[in-house]
Structure formats: C-alpha cells, structure tokens
Amino acid sequence: MIAKRGSPDYIIFYTVLCLLGLGIIMVYSASAVSANVNFDDSCYFLKRQLIWAGLGILAMFFTMNVDYHVWQKFSKPILIATIILLIMVLIPGMGKVVNGARRWLGFGSIYIQPSEIAKLSMVLFSAYYLAKMRPMITNFKKTVVPQLAVLMVIFGLILKEPDLGTALSIAGTVFVLLFVTGAKLKHLFSLGAVGLIGIAAAVLLEPYRLKRLFAFSNPWADPLDTGYHIIQSLYAIGSGGLFGVGLGRSREKFLYLPEPHTDFIFSILGEELGLIGTVLVLILFFLFAWRGLKTAMLAPDIYGSILSAGLTTMILVQALMNIAVVTASMPVTGIPLPFLSFGGSALIFTLAGVGILLNISRHVNLK
C-alpha cells in the first residue's frame, strides 16, 4: 500500500455503480419467477447477487488503493495460478459440470469460475509483458510469438471446458493490446486470419456450435431447438417498444427465455424498460469506454497506459459480445453482461479490474 496520489475518476466510479445498481434490480426482476419455481424463494438469486456485489465492491476499493505498479510483480504468479485452476477444472471429480460444461471449482458451498479469473490475469500479464517488450514490439518472433503462446494455453484450456465465448473475449482483448502497443498491422492481419481459421475449426469440430451458427443465420428454421434462444430474445426486446412493458412485468421471464438473469438479462431489460432502458445502458458503457481510454492515453507510463487499455477493453469486449448475441448480431455464446448479469466470479473480478483502473486514474489529470 502507498499513499494516495489523487482522487479517482468519479465518472468511471459512478458509471460502474449505476450499472451495478441497475443490474441488481434487473437480476431480481428477471430471476424472481424461476427462483420461486426452482427454490421456492423469489429472492434466491437477488440475495446471492447482493453478496457478490458487496464482495466485488470491497475488491474494487482494495485494488483502487493499491498502487497499480504492484501488479507488475505479481502478474506472473497470478497467471501461473490461473493456469493451474483452469487445469483443475478439467480434472474429473474436481471440476463441477453444469449443463454439459465443466467450468466451476467448488470449495465447500462456494464455487468459482477460473475462466473469469483468466480474463483479469491475462490483462495483467499482457500489460506487464508488452510494456517490458515495447522497444521490440515490431519483432514478431521475440515479442508477439511468446505473447501468443501464453494466450493459446489459456485459450485452449477454456475452450476445453467448453467456453468459446470467454476464450474469444480474452483473445480479442489481447489482440487490441498488441495493436495499441504498436505491433505491425501485417502481423495482426496474419494473426487475425489464423484466428478465423481456428474459430472455424472449433465450430466444425463441435456439432452444437455448428448448429448455433446455422440457427444464427436463420433461427426460425428450427424455432423449438437451436433457434429458440434467439427468437425468444428478439421477442423480449421487440415487445418492449420505446418505454417497455414496465419494470417487473416481463412475459418472457415466465420460463420462456432461458437464462433470463444471466446471459439474456439485456433482453429482459429491453422488454421491461424499452428502447430508453437499453440506450441508457449503452450510454453508460460509452461513458466507461471514454474515461477508461482517456486514462490510458494520459497514464504516466507505458505500463499504466497498456493496463488501462486492457482493463477497459476487457469489459467492453464482453459487453459488445453479450449485446450482439441477444440482438442476433452474432451466434449464441455464453458470456455475461458486465455488472448486470447474475454471477459471482465474473462480478468480483470485473470490479477488481475496475479498481485497478481507478487507481491508475489517480495518477493522471483527467479534467
């Protein structure tokens, strides 16, 4: 811990709190029906989300008061610990399987999702590594290849769970960091082409991913199976109109739309709060992007600049992917909407990342 150097960016701080508060309201509204049916307690998910939000806020205040340079020392150990956790998830008897996916590790009655930790740890390591190798960033073999080797280990382990959405969000964040650090465009285009080939292979090797791709192109061809999620999501958003049907009055949450409080919470928000509600969420994410990137541009050193850009990109990539999925702009992938979706690991480590960003903002003049 060191003495504070200034005030954090309050626009980032209050923007995140607004999104978090709206998320708690929407989690309760979206989950009340299913919680009552499955657990005989309409507040089942709300209670847990309040606990996770409280822990996340504590994590945010902690990291906000720790000088961001400290994470340079711990980026490697955190990354190694993350890889170990990702391996443990895949070991039968250790990783918990839910809906055919092995993504959780249980410790008593508490479960964590290592892939959520991987998002933050990958940003921390990439910022440390790229800042260190910045003078040689145009050297593909010495700089870009080692970074990609680490990415492929993380990507492969998460893909094995399977969780293509999270793996893609991490890859997208690293790609952006390579770009802002100054990697050659020809190298990035080549990597992009290889990445597209890899994604295509991942889709073709798993029949359910191929079905999702076909459902994305024409969900009404199979409205009761592969196209069901997308159709119900569009019904929810479309029926909201300009002002919405009213908070708590969603029809789709009555067991029509799967996962209404997690992956498809934006759909319920659009149904209940209408276009005005969805635009408000987009404006809040825009404010976060603006101030986060401004922090990156004004950071006092290259490490702080890359780290700010990485943390901001990490959250924005997830938000864009989630909103793209629920609006049928890309195939269905299970990725939560930052600050709004129900979830413990995602919320805690995302808020911890926000705290690091706020600490960096204390070292710059953002007026």
Say which residue, 192 or 46, is predicted with more confidence.
46
| Residue 1 banded pLDDT, cuts 50, 70, 90 | very low
Compute the average pLDDT of residues 35-44.
Answer: 92
Is 339 a domain residue? yes
Is 3 a domain residue? no
Is 283 a domain residue? yes
Is 367 a domain residue? no
pTM: 0.93
Is 5 a domain residue? no
Is there a cis peptide before residue 219, judged by omega within 30 degrees of 0?
A: no
Say which residue, 3 or 106, is predicted with more confidence.
106
Least confident range of 17-26, 221-230, 284-293, 303-312: 221-230
The per-residue pLDDT for range 197-226, each reduced to its tens digit, is 877 777 777 766 677 776 777 788 777 777
Which range, 44-58, 103-117, 249-263, has the best average confidence (pLDDT)?
A: 44-58
In the block, tokens 């005030």 appear at: 7
Percentage of the chain lying above the pLDDT 70 cut: 95
Instruction: Count the domains in the chain.
Output: 1
Compute the average pLDDT of residues 275-300.
Answer: 96
Is 290 a domain residue? yes
Percentage of the chain lying above the pLDDT 90 cut: 67
Q: How far apart are the C-alpha atoms of 50 and 255, rounded to whole Å?
A: 23
Q: At 284, which amino acid appears?
A: L
Is 1 a domain residue? no
The per-residue pLDDT for range 126-165, each reduced to its tens digit, is 999 999 998 888 888 888 889 999 999 999 999 888 888 8
**What is the domain extent for residue 341?**
10-361
Say which residue, 206 or 298, is predicted with more confidence.
298
Is 151 a domain residue? yes
Least confident range of 22-31, 68-77, 357-366: 357-366
Query: Is the model's pLDDT at 367 over the cut of 80?
Result: no
